[in-house]
Structure 1
Amino acid sequence: MDERVDLYRRTIDAVWNKGDLDACDNLFAAHCMFHDPTFPIDGLKGFKEFVRDLRAAQPDFHMDVHDVVAGEDMTATRWTCGATDTGEFRGIPRTDKTYVMSGMGMSKWEGDEIVEDWVVYDMLGVLRQLGLVPEQASQETTA
Structure 2
Amino acid sequence: MTNLRKAARRLIEEVYGEGQVEVLDELCHPGYVSHDPLVGDADLAGVKAYVRLLRACFPNLEVRILGLYVDGETAITWWSMEGNLARRLLDVEPQGQRIHMEGITVSEFEDGRLIEDTSHWDTFGYLRQLGLVRPLGPMARVTEEGARPGSSQA
Asked if TM exceeds 0.5, the reply is yes
Quote the Cα distance in structure 1 between the aligned partners of 2:2 and 2:48. 25
Look at both structures and tell me which one has the larger radius of gyration over its CA atoms: 2
Aligned residue pairs total 142
Fraction of identical pairs, as percent: 27
Gap regions ≥5 residues in structure 2:
148-154
Gap regions ≥5 residues in structure 1:
none
Corresponding position of 2:110: 110
Amino acid at match of 2:28: F
Distance change (3 Å), C-alpha of 1:52 and 1:132? same
Quote the Cα distance in structure 2 between the aligned partners of 1:116 and 1:4. 13
TM-score of the two chains, using structure 1 as the length reference: 0.87
- Decide which structure has greater helix share: 1
**Could you list the runs of 4 or more consecutive aligned residues of structure 1 that deviate by over 3 angstroms after TM superposition?**
139-143
Corresponding position of 2:92: 93
Does the 8 Å contact 2:83/2:98 carry over to 1? yes
Aligned-pair CA distance for 1:94 = 2.6
Quote the Cα distance in structure 2 between the aligned partners of 1:94 and 1:60. 17
Does the 8 Å contact 1:41/1:47 carry over to 2? no
Corresponding position of 2:21: 21
TM-score of the two chains, using structure 2 as the length reference: 0.81
Distance change (3 Å), C-alpha of 1:43 and 1:124? same
